[in-house]
Amino acid sequence: MTPEERHTHLKKVRETCLASAESLLATAERELDKGVDPICFHLALLALEEIGVSILSTINFMSQTAHTGKEELPTDEHIRKLFWAFWGGSMLRNTKFTKENIEQNRFLATTLHERRLETLYTDPKNPLAFDGRVKDGEVKTLVELARVRLEVEKASELIEFEEGDVEEITWFFSAVEDLEHRKQIFSSASLKKLTEVANGKEWIKWLRELYRKNETEMREYAEKELRRKKPEGEEAFAPKYRMRIRIQTPSHSIRNNAFVDWNKGVNGIKIYKSDRKDATKLTKGEMLIDFTLPKGLHTNYVWEHGLFMAKTVVLAFNVGTLGVFWWNVQKDIWTYYEDIVDLEADPNGSIKLRVAPQKRLHVGFDEANLVLDQNAVQNVYHLVALFMRESKKLEEFLREYAMGLTCFSKVDIHLPLEANAFGSFYKALKTATRTFGDWDGISDFKEVAKKQLEKVKEMKDLDKTLDLGKALEADVKHEKHHPITLTEVIAVKIYCDYYMQLKAKEYFENLKEDQEDNSLKE
């Protein structure tokens, strides 16, 4: 579109949004106090969201006009639309606003959306009659608030901005959507500055200039680091960088004191239980791992070395606990649809049908009740030490095992990678037995694996699992169907884990004996 066409389109979008808001709000006002107040509550919220879409569309138009290259702000998220309906309009004008304005509007948008969910559906634990789900006066207050915001927006014309204003304001809206930027924008120092300037636009200009200065300093810092000479002696081992990764586990619940002993005894790698309040909504457990990297490590190698350290520790958690620990967990493992209603049984759509594939993408971790505590973490420590000491020797094993975890973490309805994950874990097991000299690469691998794992109890599916691996490996052209689900994937992973745990135990027992022999010789 040309700038003129975009402007015409924006005017149409705004007119449509505000007309829609008017229709919704007028209906709410007409039906207020007539026994349908919960419906009026939702109509008023929808009217506010239409106002929010109008404002967000204006912002996106400004961004396109200024050729900022910024991605458009999404207009399909409820709390975002409500927030901009309350606060966004003032940002597009020379309006004075305060820290309290910002915080109140953010809180109001979140609270109203939560109230919407509370009143929209029946809570089985606290079933309330439909007309009793809103408080006296609550709906009237919201309807009046929506009317005020709508009238303000209807009376506001698209204004002309001074040169540079569009880019500054567009930058601000994009920055607010970024988590790290948002923390700095709403910091105490930034909000103190807000109280000192004349209006919002002046505050945004100050923020933008501050970010430009920070970007310049960071660029100069990076250039300085690239030119830095490699330190020698003890200086090379001095702490220089801290790298943090966030790891999720769908298999283990994490005890609060799980990492106390680890953090006391291990230097350079500190582990903490995640403090995110919503972490358990995403997965069963989440943890943060901090790596301290030495000064002797040049900036050019931070990425590679950091990745090696991170993967080594994460793989050790997987092997040492028999669980699953990775950067992300599966999504869409149950279904791809929101709902299916039977229109023949009930045209109103109250009869719902649930269908799922025969092969369910589910692993019974909940039934296993796995817990990550200090004992489990102690087991992980030995695996980390082994993987660090013998990283070259175990390179192929670690690569195949990591590929298995990567495929496992990405399996969902849209991407069936069960056979890929199984194949990688099976290759990892074969590689490990060959690396430690238990298999010559020629003889019957199944017999070797059974012999090595005979010390482990509950190996009832070992034969089946090894046969699946052999059949999958023989199917070079991938022409056959293999009955592999996530259950079989976890089974071969656990056999691989058990084997590596046994080898780690043998490794450190031999190491201890060697040290004792050397001390006797001395």
Q: Which of 205-214, 252-261, 416-425, 485-494 has the lowest mean pLDDT?
A: 205-214
Query: What pLDDT score was predicted for residue 259?
Result: 92
Q: How far apart are CA 50 and CA 219, in angstroms?
A: 42
pLDDT in tens, 184-197: 776 777 777 777 77
Q: Which of 125-129, 268-272, 436-440, 465-469 has the lowest mean pLDDT?
A: 125-129
The residue among 48, 73, 69, 79 whose CA lies nearest residue 59 is 73
Give the pLDDT mean for 344-372: 69
Order of strands across the sheet that contains 269-273: 239-249, 285-294, 269-273
Query: What pLDDT score was predicted for residue 315?
Result: 93
Query: What pLDDT score was predicted for residue 46?
Result: 93
Report residue 125: phi and psi, to 5°. Answer: -80, -25
Query: What pLDDT score was predicted for residue 204?
Result: 76
Q: How far apart are CA 429 and CA 450, in angstroms?
A: 12
Q: Which of 137-141, 269-273, 395-399 has the lowest mean pLDDT?
A: 137-141
The residue among 335, 322, 334 whose CA lies nearest residue 249 is 322
Whole-number percent of the chain with pLDDT over 70: 77
Check: CB of residue 207 under 8 Å from CB of residue 181. no
Query: What pLDDT score was predicted for residue 1?
Result: 64
Residue corresponding to tokens 């040049």: 298
> Highest-confidence range of 24-28, 67-71, 157-161, by mean pLDDT?
24-28
pLDDT in tens, 470-507: 999 898 888 888 888 888 999 999 999 999 999 998 88
Higher pLDDT, 368 or 245: 245
Higher pLDDT, 473 or 60: 473
DSSP letter (8 states) at residue 26? H
303: tokens are: 């990425």
| Domains of the chain by residue range | 3-215, 235-386, 390-522
pLDDT in tens, 114-128: 888 888 888 787 788
Query: What pLDDT score was predicted for residue 102?
Result: 67
330: tokens are: 């599966």
Query: What pLDDT score was predicted for residue 22?
Result: 94
Q: How far apart are CA 401 and CA 394, in angstroms?
A: 10
Query: What pLDDT score was predicted for residue 271?
Result: 93
Q: What's the whole-number average pLDDT of the chain?
A: 80
Residue corresponding to tokens 């209807």: 154
Report residue 470: phi and psi, to 5°. Answer: -65, -45
**End-to-end Cα distance, the chain:** 84
Query: What pLDDT score was predicted for residue 230?
Result: 74
Check: CB of residue 401 under 8 Å from CB of residue 496. yes
The residue among 119, 114, 117 whose CA lies nearest residue 39 is 119
73-92 burial, b for 16+ CB within 10 Å, e for fewer? bebeebbbbbbbbbbbbbbb
Give the pLDDT mean for 361-366: 68
Give the pLDDT mean for 407-421: 86
Q: How far apart are CA 68 and CA 54, in angstroms?
A: 20
Instruction: Kindly tell me if the per-residue pLDDT of 251 is higher than 80.
Output: yes
Check: CB of residue 109 under 8 Å from CB of residue 83. yes
pLDDT in tens, 306-332: 889 999 999 999 999 999 999 876 566
41: tokens are: 């509550």
Give the pLDDT mean for 89-97: 55
Kindly indicate the confidence band of residue 368, based on its pLDDT and cuts at 50, 70 and 90. Answer: confident
Kindly indicate the confidence band of residue 66, based on its pLDDT and cuts at 50, 70 and 90. Answer: very low
Kindly indicate the confidence band of residue 176, based on its pLDDT and cuts at 50, 70 and 90. Answer: low
Query: What pLDDT score was predicted for residue 314?
Result: 93
Give the pLDDT mean for 246-253: 89
CA angle 199, 200, 202 (to 5 degrees): 70
Higher pLDDT, 59 or 401: 401
Report residue 193: phi and psi, to 5°. Answer: -65, -35
Q: How far apart are CA 11 and CA 5, in angstroms?
A: 10
Query: What pLDDT score was predicted for residue 68?
Result: 47
Instruction: Kindly tell me if the per-residue pLDDT of 24 is higher than 60.
Output: yes
Instruction: Kindly tell me if the per-residue pLDDT of 18 is higher than 60.
Output: yes
DSSP string, 256-307: TTTTHHHHHH-SSEEEEE---TTHHHHSSEEEEEEEEEETTS-GGGHHHHHH
CA angle 55, 59, 62 (to 5 degrees): 140
What are the Cα distances from residue 470, in Å, to 131, 422, 457, 467, 474?
Answer: 64, 11, 23, 5, 6
Residue corresponding to tokens 């793989």: 315
pTM of the complete model: 0.59
Residue corresponding to tokens 């050790």: 316
Check: CB of residue 158 under 8 Å from CB of residue 57. no
Give the pLDDT mean for 290-295: 86
Helix (H) or strand (E) holding 242: strand 239-249
